[in-house]
Structure 1
Amino acid sequence: MIISDQEYFSFICVLLPFPCSAKEVNLLLQATFSSSMACINLNLDADINKCLSGLWASLPVLGRPKSGIQKLEKEMARLRVKRDDIKNQIDQADRQGKIPTNEVSQWLREVEELEAQVAAIKQDFQSMSHYYVRCFSCNCFNQTGGTSTQTQQAGDQVSIGESSNCCSIIRRVAKKLGEATELTNRAGALDPIATVGPPEPTMMLPISHRPPVGIESYVEGIVSYIDGGEGNIIGIYGMGGVGKTTMLKRIQQHYHLNHAIFDRVIWVVASKDCQLKRLQIDIARSLNLHTLEENDDEQTCGVKLCSFLKNKNCLLLLDDIWERLDLQLLGMAHSGTEQGQQQHQQPRKVVVFTTRSEIMCAQMNAEKKVKVNCLDSDQAWQLFVQNSDGDVLGSDAGIKFVAEKLAKECAGLPLALVTVARAMSGKRSWEAWNDALHQIRDKHEWATIALPEDSLVMYKAFKLSYDSLENDSVRECLLCYALWPEDYQFDKFFELIQCWIGCGIIHEFNVINEAFAQGYSHLETLVAASLLEQCGDLNFPYGNKSVKMHDVIRDMALLMVSRLEGNKRQWIVKAGIGMSELPRQEEWQEAERASFMRNEITSLQEYEASTFPKLSMLILHYNHHLKQIPPSLFASMPRLKYLDLSGCRITELPKEICSLAELQYLNLSDNRIIRLPFEFGCLSKLQYLFLSSTRLKIVPNGAISNLLMLKWLDISNNPLVPEWWWDELKCFKGRHQLSVTIDINATTDNIERLNMLPPNVSLWVLTLDGENISKLPNYDLDTLQWGCRVSDNLVFLCIQNLRLDRLELAVGVGRESSFGCLKSLRFIDLTLLEEISLNRVRFYNLREIYIHDCPMLKDASWVLQLPCLNCLDISMCGKMKEVISEVGNSNSICSSSIQYLILWNMSDLNLIANRPLHFPYLEYIRVRECPKLIKLPFGTEILKNRLKVIKGEEDWWNNLDWDDESIKDSLTPYFR
């Protein structure tokens, strides 16, 4: 069909979304169609329908492409704000050991995909603008860039493609605008953001700057091999305790300080019976990757890891593997050299692993194998001396002579040398040294020990160290650690010391604080003896020192509680090995202690009465598929004293639990129990009861108040404290001081109830919560001591969701501060709070301050009054311009005891302090999303201090203002 020019122009003007002259239509047509076309023969059905479908679908929303993209960008900006808020909440939850829910992970993935699609649309539009490609259905002709005639004269020949014409752009923009709006709206319904996840992965710190004896040459060879690009899989093998993990730490240390080769250095511990899925999760957590979901299979997790690491140079350090692992499923998609020349064109994926078996190196396709041998005699003596008391060795030639023989008995095994040297470091007489030598050489004593020679050497060293511990309590503490899975690391010692208390190892105390003090003392003793390793992790926000037990030491401890040497006691430990059901009855029928924690047990079988007559401890902690407990279980264990069912999904507690007449410790936390049995109060010997994070709604009268021996009660992390809890606590008849962990709604009535609690009830951990209170009614914190002496024993205090504009922590005139045990103080979601102040309060032992989401708070200058403050963590305080706004007079330089400083999401923060501050103990700084913070309050003195890690965005670090650029150069190696 042929139509005239005038009819055609009239028709086009009708279609266009804006007024347009015939001349402008002509320019559009010239920009759209080649001038080589002598005439235009239109297929009206095809062309007009195509225009109409594009126009009518999109024009009501967008109009022209440029304005549509602007609208899309505005919606994407809203979406990014929501995404950043959710990521901040994820970071906050991560500090509490939680992981994002599946719904949140899916939402984040959709946002990430949408961002990529929107970027592609913008790129297509920019390309179209560059080449002046237009269709006649909309006006986006940019006359500032020249006319189509000019373009043609330049010789540009551009075809009109589906992805790069205006109709297509408008349709794509309209679709993505709808998706962005839908995602923004969905963000408000994401609740909860995170849930309880697996334990934190083990992250090892760089070891001492003093090179370990005998391994530096190994490390130099491996580093040279990696840097030379000769291969990508290196296997380090050797017997247990020979120094393989220490070598891996040195390699990690080298590449943490040298960022030129690898974008990511990842450390994970495999261990015996390790599951691939757990390794994948550990790697994802170390990468801060939140897209791995609990119900993902191994293949899916592997794809996600590979996708994330695809364009990154990575070094994966795998410690202590016992079976072949598929490296591609761990994100190392290009490990190996089978790709030939293409390997050098791809990002490098290097894997260094340790194992006890050379065969494992072959199974892992290691391109370089490094065998770690025991030390020669000179090296062995050097290591022994390093870990001994030098004054003792140098003071008596006889002691030195015996010490050399003791070192020789260790056969060059580093772990044995260190263990024996530390065990003897407190011995100052020749007789004590000679007795140790006699013990370790006594063939009669070791004749019945059926162990391989290398294991026997280590067992002798372990036994000597074990016997040298100061008392049976410390020895029992060491053995208890072996109840946890291999290579389990305690980032906080609460769980471990709680076990020691529950077992009765620590039993002579008046209040829980005293028990924990004893626990920390025992920990220091075991670390000093090198039976526990202090490894700590500065990637952990608060930098808490952590401990773990070397797998060889754990093996020796488990030998000690087996039937070896005719021991009377027998423990069965199958922790963290992925088992789905309990062992056969005959395997643990005679056991005294049984640990099946952190497995996949789904159900328990029925047992006959007194099936386990000797069993005093049963740990089923964190079997999160376990929902029911058979009633016969309790009747089968008549001597049970310690029962840990925490972290399961139990919905009902059988009344038969009340038949456990000897029960002293019961942990039901993190379960779904709704009620306690009516007979619960009959547990007459119960001393420790943990009901945190349960769904309890019904507690029979007297169930708690009649527990006469109760010393510790935890009812925290429950939404409200119902009336019956107050009645139970008020009527408590116990013979001991009861320490309580509790969360309460900070109403006037509840504050008065706290004051009315009996003298034998004291608060240990307290959270004051309330959303509808304008001020704390007629009370300062110290008045709580009138009824329950809360401040005397309180170790943790959290104040949250209160509508306060000013908060004063005060004590009465003439009264000394009574918060002598307080270690952690938190302020959360105080949206109106402008000022915090101290009045006659001296928090002498306060170690941690945490301030979150207090948007009106102006500063935290009062923290300078805390002499022992270890960690200061402030986040989401939008009005805060200075952390410390008052630092003495203009000529003074104040000192702070802070070791760990964390600041994030502080939009107006300009300064940490308005005067120079001295940080002699500072080790860790983390700054995130503080765009206006361009100066740190450090002078050259910071270079002489203990600083180890600075974490933050690259742009923030590069834009910092320094009085002396040499300070930045010196600190750059510590920046992560």
Structure 2
Amino acid sequence: MESLKDATTSMIGVYGMAGVGKTWLVKEVERQLHEVKLFNSVVRATASRIPDIKEIQDQIAYSLGLKLEENSPVVRARKLYGRLRNEKNVLIILDDLWKKLDLKEVGIPFGSQHKGCKILLTSRSRNVVSNEMGATKTFAVDDLDEEEAWEFFKKMDGNSVESDEELRSTAIEVVKKCARLPLALATVARALRNESLFGWRDALQQLQRPCLEHSSSEISAEVHSNIKLSINHLSSEDLKQIFLLCSLLRRDTRIEDLLRYARGLGLIKGVNSMKAERDRLLKMMRTLKESCLLRDSKSTNEEYFDVHDLTYSLAKSIASKDNQVLALTEVDKDEDEDVVADWPNGESMKECNKIILRDPSINKLPDQLNCPQLFLFLLFSKDLSLTLPDNFFKEAKNLKVLGLTCMHFSSLPSSIGLLTSLSTLCLDHCNLGDNLTIIGALKNLNVLSLAGSDIKIVPKEIGQLLKLKLLDVSGCTKLKTISANVLPSLSKLEELYMGGTCIQWGQPNASLAELNKLSHLSTLEVEIPDAKAAPEDFFQKLQKLERYKICIGKEWVRFRNYQYSRTLKLRLNTSIDDFDHGIKKLVKRTLDLQLDKLKGVKINALEEVTDEERLSHLQNLHIQNGLDIESIINARNEFPHLQSLTLEGLPQLVSFCCQDKIDGTSLPQRALPLFGEKPTKIPG
């Protein structure tokens, strides 16, 4: 309402997923506007998925008392345009836009054509209202919180659920299954009004299962049909497949893991490099979020994504059609009364192409997977009693993606060696021992992740994986050895993650010089305890990297902040001038710079690590444990994109800048002098 009163705002967009209440919201806005008489006229038209220009014109004309009897779209638009121009101020509500609507074609004056005409849009897509239509102000409509959902449900039900305690407890479970979505809450509440207890229990049973096309349930049909329409409207089959994979993986899945699975399944087409695939995937994820089919993780961690409960339910039913997907998750265990305790029979699994098991309650896996069509197998399990039989994958030779997480192996099943079509293998956080020689048989492997596992050595057999593009051994805290000449053998390697390891660089093990031989390397995460172990031109040759997290010096904690694609952490025992000047060039390109224990530095701490006065890329600066540091920068330094600054453990700090005057362009906001031992953060 405040935005509608703002004379500088001419178009407002409201967006959110299907069933969240966008139409209801603008109807309430319309009602209140009639009361306060902010506009001479308020008209509303529904655009729908396939907009009919003539129908939209008729809806607007009817609200204005105008008759459009002409057949020519151009004549009708001209007549409507003239009528709207005669209104001193008018609000036009265009509901349910699926794509850009040509206002001129409809006959709606806008902007300088008629400053008294404002437009309020609703859509399932942020992109439609913001980018395609050009709304200067947008509002996201999210689902209700738990208390709001319960109060709204009771109101729609007529408060009948408060009459009986057992009925009330069942109703609370029903509300949970409606996932705080207003349309679902209203639909179910109205259907169950004045229903008996057994009717409520039956409804809960129906809601606990995905809404399949052949289901007799009518309670959630309207909600699911609305969401399904959004899925079907996605612009490409590739985008739909990525969405379905996201939905099956659901929350607590890293976008990075999604990339590795999608890469193995060949879902990202038309690109050749990991960098290009990541860019394409991130663009697709943005499209899905703007379409309100995906959402940001509730943990606010940008590494992860989330899927609405009802969207997950429908996507699971679509993917599970014709027994093509078996997806059993912790959610199923918690919420369904009928828990699958035994493996499905062999015949029903022959057409299955994806299996995703997230802490399943299955007591025992079969001796063999009877799934000749299987492309994807993911098992996340903390149950130490759940084991994989030796011949488990013998009849799944078409498998392209295999992910086993938190498993304990005395040795890997020998049938893994038969998976010659495998493109992605992830054995994250597994107890593997060092018997990994079988992996050398997987000649078509593009992605190998052993992140967080207990391996102590990267064996020479991995050097046989000549098609490998990504190797991840990050967080392998026991890893000390990479066999010499393994890394140079991986001539196609583009991404190498080794953060959080204790690798001993140098003979008889791999040397840092071997990294410079990887001509396609674009991403590197590595810890170098002693910069003197690096060859003379080592850092100079790292200038080609697109993404990096490089830690130089001992006793750094593992990389935790993945917000920045280029991070450099320096802890040097001597002056940086004693090393390769390539370090200073890395500083120039770094987004996240962290400095620890700069010895002998008093004035202008940054001058120690860079010759540049303008660090145009720097977004985060963290300086700690500088016992002698009195100032951080001089007045010539500029950081046009700095977002955050942390100073910690600088007992001699007198001023941020070593000169009295600070140029206003040096920081996004002027920094005040900082004192004290505690971390000080200045937002950009």
TM-score of the aligned structures, taking structure 1 as reference length: 0.43
Alpha-carbon spacing, 1:659–1:909, altered in 2? closer, same or farther (3 Å): same
Q: Are the equivalent residues in 1 in contact too, given 2:363–2:386 (CA < 8 A)?
A: no
Residue 20 of structure 2 is aligned with which of 242, 249, 256? 242
Separation (CA, whole Å) in 1 of partners of 2:576 and 2:493: 38
Structure 1 SS opposite 2:593: strand
* Equivalences for residues 37-436 of structure 1 within 5 A: 241-242=19-20, 376=27, 385=94, 388=97, 392=101, 394-397=103-106, 418-419=123-124
Separation (CA, whole Å) in 2 of partners of 1:699 and 1:900: 38
Task: Report what 1:907 is aligned to.
Answer: 651
Alpha-carbon spacing, 1:917–1:902, altered in 2? closer, same or farther (3 Å): farther
Equivalent pairs counted in the alignment come to 501
Q: Which has the higher contact order (CA 8 A, sep 6+)?
A: 2
Residue 860 of structure 1 is aligned with which of 570, 589, 606? 606
Separation (CA, whole Å) in 2 of partners of 1:699 and 1:841: 31
Task: Report what 2:448 is aligned to.
Answer: 689
Structure 2 SS opposite 1:705: helix
Task: Report what 1:520 is aligned to.
Answer: 282
Separation (CA, whole Å) in 2 of partners of 1:918 and 1:387: 46
Q: Deviations over 1:837-881 (max 9, x none)?
A: 878837676332233455666523548633232222333444333
Q: Deviations over 1:774-794 (max 9, x none)?
A: x456614444x3xxxx54235
Task: Report what 1:605 is aligned to.
Answer: 364
Task: Report what 1:138 is aligned to.
Answer: none
Aligned-pair CA distance for 1:582: 6.8
Q: Are the equivalent residues in 2 in contact too, given 1:762–1:793 (CA < 8 A)?
A: yes
Q: Are the equivalent residues in 2 in contact too, given 1:882–1:912 (CA < 8 A)?
A: yes
Task: Report what 1:26 is aligned to.
Answer: none
The question of 1:848 aligning with 2:622 is answered no
Aligned-pair CA distance for 1:690: 0.9
Task: Report what 1:897 is aligned to.
Answer: 641
Q: Deviations over 1:9-67 (max 9, x none)?
A: xxxxxxxxxxxxxxxxxxxxxxxxxxxxxxxxxxxxxxxxxxxxxxxxxxxxxxxxxxx
Alpha-carbon spacing, 1:531–1:450, altered in 2? closer, same or farther (3 Å): same
Separation (CA, whole Å) in 1 of partners of 2:240 and 2:450: 30
Structure 2 SS opposite 1:868: coil
Residue 553 of structure 2 is aligned with which of 783, 798, 801? 801
Alpha-carbon spacing, 1:729–1:747, altered in 2? closer, same or farther (3 Å): closer
- What one-letter code is carried by the residue in structure 2 that aligns with 1:716? S
Alpha-carbon spacing, 1:932–1:653, altered in 2? closer, same or farther (3 Å): closer
Residue 293 of structure 2 is aligned with which of 531, 542, 550? 531
Q: Are the equivalent residues in 1 in contact too, given 2:648–2:679 (CA < 8 A)?
A: no
* Equivalences for residues 914-925 of structure 1 within 5 A: 914=658, 915-916=661-662
Task: Report what 2:227 is aligned to.
Answer: 462
Q: Are the equivalent residues in 2 in contact too, given 1:711–1:737 (CA < 8 A)?
A: yes
- What one-letter code is carried by the residue in structure 2 that aligns with 1:419? R
Aligned-pair CA distance for 1:641: 1.9
- What one-letter code is carried by the residue in structure 1 that aligns with 2:430? N
The question of 1:710 aligning with 2:419 is answered no
Residue 407 of structure 2 is aligned with which of 648, 653, 661? 648
Separation (CA, whole Å) in 2 of partners of 1:454 and 1:864: 65
The question of 1:471 aligning with 2:249 is answered no
The question of 1:870 aligning with 2:616 is answered no
Q: Are the equivalent residues in 2 in contact too, given 1:389–1:426 (CA < 8 A)?
A: no
Separation (CA, whole Å) in 2 of partners of 1:801 and 1:842: 16
- What one-letter code is carried by the residue in structure 2 that aligns with 1:849? L
The question of 1:481 aligning with 2:243 is answered no
Q: Are the equivalent residues in 2 in contact too, given 1:831–1:856 (CA < 8 A)?
A: no
Structure 1 SS opposite 2:642: coil
Q: Are the equivalent residues in 2 in contact too, given 1:825–1:846 (CA < 8 A)?
A: yes
Aligned-pair CA distance for 1:497: 2.6
Residue 429 of structure 2 is aligned with which of 670, 675, 697? 670
The question of 1:739 aligning with 2:495 is answered yes
Alpha-carbon spacing, 1:857–1:455, altered in 2? closer, same or farther (3 Å): farther
Task: Report what 1:887 is aligned to.
Answer: 635
Separation (CA, whole Å) in 1 of partners of 2:306 and 2:397: 33
Structure 2 SS opposite 1:643: strand
The question of 1:594 aligning with 2:355 is answered yes
Q: Are the equivalent residues in 2 in contact too, given 1:868–1:897 (CA < 8 A)?
A: yes
Separation (CA, whole Å) in 1 of partners of 2:364 and 2:94: 54
Task: Report what 2:309 is aligned to.
Answer: 551
Structure 2 SS opposite 1:586: coil
Alpha-carbon spacing, 1:722–1:533, altered in 2? closer, same or farther (3 Å): closer
Aligned-pair CA distance for 1:686: 2.0
Aligned-pair CA distance for 1:742: 3.2
Structure 2 SS opposite 1:902: strand
Alpha-carbon spacing, 1:847–1:801, altered in 2? closer, same or farther (3 Å): closer
Aligned-pair CA distance for 1:933: 8.9
Aligned-pair CA distance for 1:625: 4.1
Aligned-pair CA distance for 1:716: 3.3
Alpha-carbon spacing, 1:829–1:655, altered in 2? closer, same or farther (3 Å): farther
Separation (CA, whole Å) in 1 of partners of 2:93 and 2:622: 42
Separation (CA, whole Å) in 2 of partners of 1:802 and 1:746: 14
Structure 2 SS opposite 1:704: helix
Task: Report what 1:621 is aligned to.
Answer: 380
- What one-letter code is carried by the residue in structure 2 that aligns with 1:591? C
Aligned-pair CA distance for 1:593: 1.7
Q: Are the equivalent residues in 1 in contact too, given 2:470–2:495 (CA < 8 A)?
A: yes
Aligned-pair CA distance for 1:670: 1.9
Separation (CA, whole Å) in 1 of partners of 2:242 and 2:286: 12
Task: Report what 2:418 is aligned to.
Answer: 659
Alpha-carbon spacing, 1:426–1:644, altered in 2? closer, same or farther (3 Å): same
Aligned sequence identity (%): 16
Residue 730 of structure 1 is aligned with which of 472, 477, 488? 488
Q: Are the equivalent residues in 1 in contact too, given 2:125–2:290 (CA < 8 A)?
A: no
Task: Report what 1:825 is aligned to.
Answer: 567
Larger radius of gyration: 1
Q: Deviations over 1:288-341 (max 9, x none)?
A: xxxxxxxxxxxxxxxxxxxxxxxxxxxxxxxxxxxxxxxxxxxxxxxxxxxxxx
Separation (CA, whole Å) in 1 of partners of 2:353 and 2:429: 26
Task: Report what 2:171 is aligned to.
Answer: none
Q: Are the equivalent residues in 2 in contact too, given 1:604–1:629 (CA < 8 A)?
A: no
Alpha-carbon spacing, 1:477–1:887, altered in 2? closer, same or farther (3 Å): farther
Task: Report what 1:191 is aligned to.
Answer: none
Q: Are the equivalent residues in 1 in contact too, given 2:521–2:545 (CA < 8 A)?
A: yes
- What one-letter code is carried by the residue in structure 2 that aligns with 1:596? L
Separation (CA, whole Å) in 2 of partners of 1:712 and 1:209: 51
Alpha-carbon spacing, 1:728–1:841, altered in 2? closer, same or farther (3 Å): closer
Alpha-carbon spacing, 1:448–1:871, altered in 2? closer, same or farther (3 Å): same
Q: Are the equivalent residues in 1 in contact too, given 2:496–2:524 (CA < 8 A)?
A: yes
Q: Are the equivalent residues in 1 in contact too, given 2:341–2:363 (CA < 8 A)?
A: no
Alpha-carbon spacing, 1:521–1:838, altered in 2? closer, same or farther (3 Å): same
- What one-letter code is carried by the residue in structure 2 that aligns with 1:511? S
Separation (CA, whole Å) in 1 of partners of 2:99 and 2:214: 33
> Which residues of structure 1 form unaligned runs of 5+?
1-207, 212-238, 247-371, 401-415, 429-445, 804-821, 938-945, 948-976
Structure 2 SS opposite 1:882: coil
The structure whose residues are more often helix, as a share, is 1
- What one-letter code is carried by the residue in structure 2 that aligns with 1:594? I
Q: Are the equivalent residues in 1 in contact too, given 2:457–2:483 (CA < 8 A)?
A: no
Q: Are the equivalent residues in 1 in contact too, given 2:538–2:582 (CA < 8 A)?
A: no
Alpha-carbon spacing, 1:616–1:881, altered in 2? closer, same or farther (3 Å): same
Alpha-carbon spacing, 1:577–1:922, altered in 2? closer, same or farther (3 Å): farther
- What one-letter code is carried by the residue in structure 1 that aligns with 2:230? S
Aligned-pair CA distance for 1:917: 6.1
Aligned-pair CA distance for 1:687: 1.8
- What one-letter code is carried by the residue in structure 1 that aligns with 2:311? I
Alpha-carbon spacing, 1:209–1:876, altered in 2? closer, same or farther (3 Å): farther
